[in-house]
Structure 1
Amino acid sequence: MIDNFFILDFSYDVVENKPVIYIWAIDKNNDRVVLLEKKFRPYFYVLVDENANIEEIKKEILKLSKSYSPITKVEEVQDKKYFGSPVKVLRIETVIPAYVRVYRDEVTKINGVKNVLEADIRFYMRYAIDNDLKPFYWIEAEIEEAKENNFRVKKVYELKKINRIYEDKMPELKMMAFDIEVYNKYGSPNPRRDPIIIIGVWTKEGGKQFLADKYDDIKAIRDFINFVQTYDPDIIVGYNVNNFDWPYLLERANIRGLKLDVGRRINGEPSQGVYGHYSVTGRLNVDIYGFAQSIQEVKVKTLENVADYLGVLPKEKRSLIEWYDIPKYWDDEKKRDILLKYNMDDAKSAYLLGEVFVPFGIELTKISGLPLDQLSMASVGYRVEWLLMREAFKYNELIPNKEEREYESYEGGLVISPLPGIHEEVTVLDFSSMYPSIMIKYNIGPDTLIKGDCDDCWVSPAGYKFRKEPPGLYKNVLQKLVKERKEVKELMEKTTDEYERRVLDARQRALKIMANAFYGYMGWLGARWYSKEGAEAVTSWGRAIISEAAKMAKEKGFIVVYGDTDSIFVKGKGDVNSLINEISTKFGLEIKIDKVYKRVFFTENKKRYAGLTEDGKIDIVGFEAVRGDWCDLAKQVQINVIELILKTGKVDDAVKYVKSVIFDLRRYNFKIEDLIIWKSIDKNLDEYDVTAPHVVAAKKAAKAGYLISKGVKIGYVIVKGAGKISDRAEPYFMVKEKNKIDVEYYVDKQIIPVAMRILEGFGIKESSLKTGGVDILSFFKK
């Protein structure tokens, strides 16, 4: 029988001492199904010395065979390459995936064996790579209906053969979001002690809540399990659920004698996998928190902050409760509705953020092949690596092992010193994807690096040589990404269907991000295809190009006011289009107008500027407003100072504004939450010798019964009193009265410093902000 299936995910198990791969899918009738692949077997490669006796090594390997998982095949494989060079290699096959690691360690000790490769690739991903299968693609397959069905699916099939893989319209995927609230009266939640009082879920049909019977959460957990089984979502989203909700639910269910049976395999519970994600069998558990890490503008990445920033649920339209107040709202019948709304708003926010991030994540999965639940938590480096692993297989390139490496520094991109002050009508010329373009043009990669003499090589300004032909792994893959993105953008221009346009836009953005990540991956110490030489070569060519482009701009009558890595900022009355054509022709790289600033100002420091674009948008780069651990009021002051200068050009207006903020602070006209300073706890509290303010605040919180663990952010305020500032740092939730706040600390150490980062460049003295106060009569003058 032949049918078509849309792939969602992969998993595997060992059944009766044989591995079975599960392909979770949707058929053409929109039914959820699972395909069983029973023929595929685990294997790995052995790299042998060029002069070694292959037959002797084969015999030694076969002697290692164990009855539970015998070595079923040892064969020499032709045409394999390792870092671009032909090698002599053996392929070793066994039965049980876990035994690959056992045999790897033993085979390494055999004389004549140089290395063991590809023994650390997860079994189901090995199968997906070898068969070029990726989630969210369709397959046409020859199948046979299976009798077994201990799954929550419509049909179970045994997979006989895959005829073709193709792309077609996706079926509608059912998505569900959830969020839990815990009754933690004695500090941070402890699943052995504190019950789950509310589990909120949100779907496209709306919200639903499962409540504890006062403090007994058995019914709430059981109702949640039943809902998931009945609603049968393909995707479950949540915010920080891998770090909190799932492990808490699992332990709490276990304590209450329940099995958190929410997957599509009956009696299967979520389990923690790679990258810290929890796997829900047959469903995609997507933690939106992983995607939110890329939003640099949001420093404290709470659910409400991210939802507010992206506009899916603004703070003013939702209920907000401090986590430590949850028990009070639960115990008070009059306030409980507020808590219920707070939980529902969290579940709804997670769902709406899922609608923002999941389509983009799907496209990244279709490129990298990394399943969506893992992809949401994996770093950009791992996403690139899985793509490279798939492509390496196609080019007969063996996949290198992961290695421990010591940190190595190298020179980065060129930064042309800025011309301080305000500039009008500045054009930013940006090289499109400069580093990927350099990598393609000069065939850069660890497999193309030549360390000896070379007659036909590209030689970088840093002195490294790369062969011109044949193309290396990086060049081959990058060319594919660039070519596909161009094709996708062309399709975008032609389509009139809004849904298709959104899908294509997500696709082209995903392709761009993946391509731009290759340079960073190559210089990442954890990369399998790491190359310090390659990374240095890329930046050296980049510096040379930017330097020469700036020189060409000056020769055409422009003033270069700034330059950074892959862009130059120019002003003047020259012909910009003519300059673009000359630069593009000379270097064979695309350069375009990225934006035009109506007004922009620079300090004397590199990588620190702010500009007002022609459409009224303000860009802020390098100031505390978009980086650093400053309180919200300080950040807002700096943003407002920047806006006043850019929009009016009047520095005096900015000075008056800063004075008015100081005046309000001294009158206690502020919100305590605007003065909170957030800082990460990077190690266990008992490991800290220093008495930094955030450490002192964290220790005070811990002493008061709040569990403060490594990796969390602590929010603190500075209060009045004697002694060092550190000693006066208090957890924000332990300070209720405004008059306890040390206002002068915030004036001297927060407001004035961030304002002066901008104003000192215009000759403003710190004393002019501190003295004179504000003329009260000026408030009445219009």
Structure 2
Amino acid sequence: MIRKGYILSKHTIAKQGRSKHKGACVEVWVSTDDGPVCLQSALQKPSCFVATENTKSIIEKAKREGIEIEVSSDSFFTLEQVEVDTLKTTSDSHMHQLRQLAKSLHITLYEADIRLADRYLMERFIYGSLEFIAADETATLIPEARIRPAIYTPSLYSISIDIECDENENLFSIALASNDVNEVMLVSASTHPKTLDVPDTFSLSQFSTESALLTAFITRICEIDPDVILGWNVKQFDMAVLARRAKKQGVKFTIGRDKREAFVRDWDGQTIVDIPGRSIVDGIEALKTMTYQFDSFSLDNVAQQLLGDKKLIQSEDKLGAIKALYYEDPSSLASYNHKDCVLVNEIATKTRFIEFLILRGTLTGLDLGRPGGSVAAFLNVYLPKLHRQRYVSGVRPEHGGLASPGGYVMNSQPGLYSDVLVLDFKSLYPSIIRTFKIDPMGLAEGLKYPERAIEGFKGAMFSRDNHFLPDIIDNLWRQRDEAKKQNDAPRSQAIKILMNSFYGVLGSGGCPFYDPRLASSITLRGHEIMQTTAKWIEEAGFSVIYGDTDSTFVHVNNNTSLGTPNETGQSLANTINQKWQSKLREDYDIDCHLDIEFETHFETFFMPTIRGSALGSKKRYAGLKQIGDKKELVFKGLENVRSDWTELAKYFQYELYRRVFEKAPVSDFIKQTVDNIRQGKEDTRLVYAKRLRKPLNDYIKSLPPHVKAARLADDINSKTGQRLRYQHNTTIRYVMTVQGPQTTEHQMAPLDYDHYIEKQIMPIADSILPLINLSFSELTNEQLSLFSN
């Protein structure tokens, strides 16, 4: 019978048999309607390619090194038309040895870094979901499984976990939470009573040792048997600590299915977690993949922003507070621990990030818990198609390759405007790829047969007929339109992110398809499109005051020839679309997939100058627009949206701009703000917050204010025998005092109010006041004139 499932994990297992049958087995765990199933492939052999002219040399060297290799000539070529042979080894370790050998011989191997499990699935066009043949519906292990692509949406069971420990990673407690499981496990301390009262929202178990706690946790995970384990920074912190403590206590970390041991290892500064039969998803990584943006991705901040809820401990010294609760009020610590799990689950529900990751997997084959992965997604989708045309991918350039031109950014015309329209090209870069047939194989074929190719930039020529990427995008585009019709937000977002990643992938030195001609043919075409569009708008009698990547800002300037501002915006969009359709048909004989839309009408719009200059700034503006019966003030790139400005500065800018845009008085507001600062009424809103991006001691040449404040604070902590709190990966909350920057925890000197007025308030005011004939200095001058007429 045929059953369907969704991939939770995949691994390679070495197999040994007779010499000629040596190879590896790919093991794929899937979630099905009837529970988890382990699928094991027939023997597979890792493969790669080498230029035919180098085959003999590398085979001879490999033989002397004891590396077993199979060679075949399968008429494959590189995109530079170099013929290659196929090399297969008997194991991943032999492939690794072969790669090292080739490097020592300065011989290029193609596709040698593709993992066997990834290749096994991608070459079968399996992305996320699959179907397999099983003898019966109860089978949980299928050896030598036969699999193929399928459409299947799983119903995954997830549970969130969270740990609490001290600075030495001694465990205090572990919490678990799901729809039907709410538990906290606690290591008892000598100060704890024998029984603890806790809320009825969770159960509490106490253990005499850390080893007993870990054993109980592992047992419960296996009993609960989740498909997905969630957490907040769960890989880099929770799982990393649990694995280290289990090793220290001599406890096998068998939280995988069939009591398989989880693989937790450090690689290139990151913790990699691989759990057989389960996916592990970090909430931070998931939200970043979905392009959520926050000033801080701390659980407390994200929960407040998305849920209006927060963690139970609000102390700036959270570790100190956690330790105090553990020894003095363990029931409250358990509540705190459990609440963190609940917040993660509620964020998952609110954002639907598990659903998003499932959909991403069905589009790209990326694992549920994998962050980012744009290059891997592209390879999964593109490489199997390329192989069917007898081509192999290139290699990643050394040292990251050359930078490609960026998106188009026009010099702005600074000023305060009424009636500014924003015309935006819908997914400009994917549209350019579709229209001009930009594609790695298309480039190879276009250079090979240039007679009817479409000319790109930097010598690029693209085949009109032989390509994959334009068709891939076309298919995704249709799927996204359908998702929008069905109000399927996660699917629409997943497709949008994937489509928009293709340009970055082709311009990335981490991609084996990297070629400056590909990325440049996208961005420079974008420059051409934006400049031509601006010219057409100017010819229609309107002013273009700014352009940025795919957006054009048009000042109506009292021109009513096309009707109201909204009517004008729609009319301009229609005209430009018609012009591009005609131009591309006449100039290139191609169909146009460019689509410009009228996006926004700003009733009032402000484009500032570069600070200290008369030149217009870029990627910075503010505007007031009408949405329904309300007005909305929009900021881009200004202080209001920057995390390193104080709360007062953000409020001041918002309120000042609102008053200017609505033509309300501003003088008294500015004077009152300055007076309040000097009188100490705004002290709580004068706090800076900035994160250390590296260990504190690594700051040598440059000592920004937050670093100075952190060093001073930890010097005090050291002298007073307290824990050093600001050594690395910490957000520093500090104020500027008359003695320099000091953390809020160790502020000893009065605030430097002149600093806040001159560095925070005055620059914001000076950016816009001259446009309404006012001066901040004149409004706030406290000196009386010594002379009078």
The corresponding residue for 2:164 is 181
Which of 37, 41, 63 is the equivalent residue of 2:41? 37
Contact 1:11 1:124 in 2 (8 A): yes
Q: Distance in 2 between matches of 1:644 and 1:15?
A: 73
Q: Distance in 1 between matches of 2:14 and 2:71?
A: 22
The corresponding residue for 1:302 is 298
Tell whether 2:417 aligns with 1:423.
yes
How many angstroms does 1:554 deviate by?
2.4
Q: Residues 491, 384 of structure 1: CA spacing in aligned structure 2 closer, same or farther, 3 A cutoff?
A: closer
SS at 2:307 equivalent = coil
Q: Distance in 2 between matches of 1:344 and 1:768?
A: 56
The corresponding residue for 2:140 is 155
The corresponding residue for 1:251 is 244
Which of 523, 526, 542 is the equivalent residue of 2:510? 526
The corresponding residue for 1:559 is 543
How many angstroms does 1:325 deviate by?
3.2
The corresponding residue for 1:312 is 307
SS at 1:225 equivalent = helix
Q: Distance in 2 between matches of 1:390 and 1:656?
A: 67
How many angstroms does 1:296 deviate by?
6.6
The corresponding residue for 2:724 is 706
Tell whether 2:519 aligns with 1:535.
yes
Contact 1:307 1:314 in 2 (8 A): yes
Q: Distance in 2 between matches of 1:691 and 1:65?
A: 52
Counterparts in 2 of 1:640-659, with a 5 A limit?
Answer: 640-646=655-661, 648-650=662-664, 652-653=665-666, 655-659=667-671
- Deviation per residue, 1:222-268 (Å, 9 max, x gap): 33222211111111111112221111122122223323321114250
Q: Distance in 1 between matches of 2:214 and 2:700?
A: 39
Q: Distance in 2 between matches of 1:370 and 1:758?
A: 48
How many angstroms does 1:550 deviate by?
1.6
Q: Residues 381, 108 of structure 1: CA spacing in aligned structure 2 closer, same or farther, 3 A cutoff?
A: closer
- Deviation per residue, 1:670-711 (Å, 9 max, x gap): 46476033143335614523332222233335543426555x
SS at 1:180 equivalent = strand
Tell whether 2:12 aligns with 1:27.
no
The corresponding residue for 2:90 is 95
Contact 1:292 1:301 in 2 (8 A): no
SS at 1:405 equivalent = helix
What is the aligned length?
A: 715
SS at 1:428 equivalent = strand
Which of 419, 434, 444 is the equivalent residue of 1:440? 434
Q: Residues 401, 683 of structure 1: CA spacing in aligned structure 2 closer, same or farther, 3 A cutoff?
A: farther
How many angstroms does 1:302 deviate by?
1.1
The corresponding residue for 1:485 is 477
Contact 1:234 1:282 in 2 (8 A): yes
How many angstroms does 1:432 deviate by?
1.0
Tell whether 2:588 aligns with 1:610.
no
Counterparts in 2 of 1:75-474, with a 5 A limit?
Answer: 75-78=72-75, 80-83=76-79, 85-106=80-101, 115-135=108-128, 137-142=129-134, 155-162=140-147, 164-168=148-152, 170-183=153-166, 189-191=167-169, 195-205=170-180, 207-214=182-189, 216-272=209-265, 276-293=271-288, 297-309=293-305, 311-315=306-310, 319-322=313-316, 323-327=318-322, 329-330=324-325, 333=328, 336-355=330-349, 356=351, 357-374=353-370, 377-405=371-399, 408-447=402-441, 448=443, 454-460=450-456, 463-472=458-467
Q: Return the letter of the residue paired with 1:404.
A: E
Which of 743, 746, 761 is the equivalent residue of 1:731? 743
Contact 2:230 2:344 in 1 (8 A): yes
Q: Residues 409, 132 of structure 1: CA spacing in aligned structure 2 closer, same or farther, 3 A cutoff?
A: closer
Q: Distance in 2 between matches of 1:491 and 1:686?
A: 48
SS at 2:464 equivalent = coil
Structure 1 residues not aligned, in runs of 5+: 146-152, 184-188, 496-500, 723-727, 774-782
Q: Distance in 2 between matches of 1:3 and 1:368?
A: 22
SS at 1:242 equivalent = helix
How many angstroms does 1:43 deviate by?
1.7
The corresponding residue for 2:492 is 508
Q: Residues 246, 719 of structure 1: CA spacing in aligned structure 2 closer, same or farther, 3 A cutoff?
A: same
Q: Return the letter of the residue paired with 1:440.
A: R
Q: Distance in 1 between matches of 2:498 and 2:296?
A: 26
The corresponding residue for 1:717 is 734
- Deviation per residue, 1:378-414 (Å, 9 max, x gap): 3544544443345434444312222323564454333
Q: Residues 444, 601 of structure 1: CA spacing in aligned structure 2 closer, same or farther, 3 A cutoff?
A: same
The corresponding residue for 2:753 is 743
SS at 1:362 equivalent = helix
SS at 2:133 equivalent = strand
TM-score under structure 1 length normalisation: 0.83
SS at 2:382 equivalent = helix
The corresponding residue for 2:11 is 11
Contact 1:293 1:301 in 2 (8 A): no
TM-score under structure 2 length normalisation: 0.82
Q: Residues 24, 58 of structure 1: CA spacing in aligned structure 2 closer, same or farther, 3 A cutoff?
A: same
Q: Distance in 2 between matches of 1:674 and 1:286?
A: 37
Q: Residues 62, 172 of structure 1: CA spacing in aligned structure 2 closer, same or farther, 3 A cutoff?
A: same
Contact 2:434 2:473 in 1 (8 A): no
Tell whether 2:649 aligns with 1:634.
yes
SS at 1:22 equivalent = strand
Contact 1:635 1:754 in 2 (8 A): no
The corresponding residue for 1:778 is none
Tell whether 2:48 aligns with 1:48.
no
Contact 1:212 1:218 in 2 (8 A): no
SS at 1:209 equivalent = strand
How many angstroms does 1:23 deviate by?
1.0
Tell whether 2:585 aligns with 1:585.
no
Contact 1:202 1:348 in 2 (8 A): yes
SS at 2:499 equivalent = helix
Which of 68, 71, 74 is the equivalent residue of 1:70? 68
How many angstroms does 1:487 deviate by?
3.7
Q: Return the letter of the residue paired with 1:618.
A: L
Q: Return the letter of the residue paired with 2:51.
A: L
Q: Distance in 2 between matches of 1:313 and 1:280?
A: 33
The corresponding residue for 2:787 is none
Contact 2:455 2:461 in 1 (8 A): yes
How many angstroms does 1:126 deviate by?
1.8
How many angstroms does 1:635 deviate by?
2.8
SS at 1:718 equivalent = strand
Q: Return the letter of the residue paired with 2:144.
A: L
Contact 2:439 2:470 in 1 (8 A): no
Contact 1:481 1:511 in 2 (8 A): no
Q: Distance in 2 between matches of 1:431 and 1:219?
A: 60
Q: Return the letter of the residue paired with 2:44.
A: F
SS at 1:594 equivalent = strand
Q: Residues 123, 409 of structure 1: CA spacing in aligned structure 2 closer, same or farther, 3 A cutoff?
A: closer
The corresponding residue for 1:148 is none
Q: Return the letter of the residue paired with 2:648.
A: L
- Deviation per residue, 1:408-440 (Å, 9 max, x gap): 445433333434333333321111111222223
